[in-house]
Structure 1
Amino acid sequence: MINLLATKFAQIDATIDATTAQITALQAKLSELQEHRQQLLSVEQACQSALSQVDTALAMLHHVDPSQVEVFKGAIESKFNSETIALLPEAPETTTEPTEPEPTAPPPTDTSVEPEIEPAIDVEVAESTDAPTPTPGAATDIEGLLNKMSIQNIRKLASAKGTDTKGTRASIAARLKTIVTESDIRAIG
């Protein structure tokens, strides 16, 4: 009888060790994925900022000397030739070691828990017939503020202003930048 229990203890210990190894592997994978997500977010923000700056530069150039727009376009396109991109360091490749199949969590048994939902905020916007004329510097500040808003809030603002709420944060911000003020943005906040 004692041998039977010793064997059972050894089996349980082996299962605990295997599960601990799986948890460690999953934690490492989670950290990898979180780091990659953060890198993607940084890239997205840099791209949005660059697009905003290109928009501002194009608007200013079109106002100052429209004949130079094609030169500007050529300069932008030259940034995408393979030689220029080849100069940039490539992202390091991550090697993943094969692991055992990942365990799945059992479905939740408590059905009374409701998912967290961001509360809706009612916003009244007074319609104005004389919209302020944005200056190039002000448009950059407004678009920067818009790009810092959460996607839910920027969609609320677009809805309040009667414009399309579909698309990426950058595309909605581009539509809103000429029709909102800083106080509109801060009101949604």
Structure 2
Amino acid sequence: MPKIHIEVDENGTIIGFASSPFSEDSFEVEIENENEILHGSHRPEIFEYKNGNIVKSTEKELKTAKRSKKKWLSNRCEREILGYFNVEIDGTVYQFSNDEKAQNNRNTDLMLMDRGVTTQTEWTAHYNGEDVRITLNQTQLLQVAAAANSHTKKIISRFRDELKPKVDAAETLEEINAIDW
């Protein structure tokens, strides 16, 4: 039988494993060749050391999968927020970026307009797949800002109010894996 070195926490959860000693608290155990920890899983936290055996904990595997899915969804939410949204200006629908530079530029331009420093701004938008420069007055830029805010809130709601609760309610790995943006 193969031998590996493991380290466990106070609950018996495996927090690390290797083919040789890797910490003061790691110790050697014999395991069956078929043990799942040897075949593809690099997540030791889903395994427990109980009664001299390494066993997979379905509960811990589900918890780990939920945490991983929520992190993936959170990252996707952020990418979506920083993406594009549509606004109709003078009868033409443009796409506007909501990346951090665009947010900063929009806020700066609105502040300058609000203080009477300027009355309009040149802005890059997207129309039919092309970058175009358009001139926006304060009312139009406020319309863009409102659309950006709505876009952001819609994306956050999708993550927080729809997808995250589905992950929390999932009872199987299959249910978790089926949840997509």
The structure where helix makes up a greater share of residues is: 1
Same fold at TM > 0.5: no
**TM-score with structure 2 setting the length:** 0.30
Asked which structure has the greater RCO (Cα within 8 Å, sep 6+), the reply is 1
Query: Scaled by the length of structure 1, what TM-score is found?
Result: 0.29
